[in-house]
Amino acid sequence: RLFYEHNPQVTLMRTNPAECTELGRIIAEKVNLSTGPVSVLLPTEAISVISAPDQVFHDPAADQALFAAIKDNLREGIKVLEIPAAVNDLAFSKAAAHALLEMLD
């Protein structure tokens, strides 16, 4: 297993593709419960600072397993936007704000 010690009190473990598949299914189930407007935004470059290219948790296969499971398990009609940015990038923030504003109209 791949571990990352964030600080003396917090150690993170990188999820593998099988675990990401299960997490994606769980996320989709929760999103499917929504009763109002909803969209799912996927940051295709990195889901965290330490999962970006050249970082300790970079694992494109695991990220793709997560994204595929989310998309495969969402009910019909839920919009999925794949954003070619890392979750902490300004481009992702702008896409999220734009998606929110679209749903508020």
Distance CA 59, CA 40 (A): 21
Give, in degrees to the nearest 5, the angle at Cα 58 between 79 and 1: 115
What pLDDT does residue 22 have? Answer: 98
Indicate whether this model's pTM tops 0.85.
yes
Q: Which of 79, 75, 88, 98 is nearest to 43 (CA)?
A: 88
Element (H, E) at 78: none
Q: Which of 63, 4, 89, 70 is nearest to 31 (CA)?
A: 70
Q: Which of 52, 57, 43 is nearest to 85 (CA)?
A: 43
Q: What is the pLDDT of residues 68-92, one digit of tens each?
A: 999 999 999 999 999 999 999 999 9
Q: What is the pLDDT of residues 12-26, one digit of tens each?
A: 999 999 999 999 999
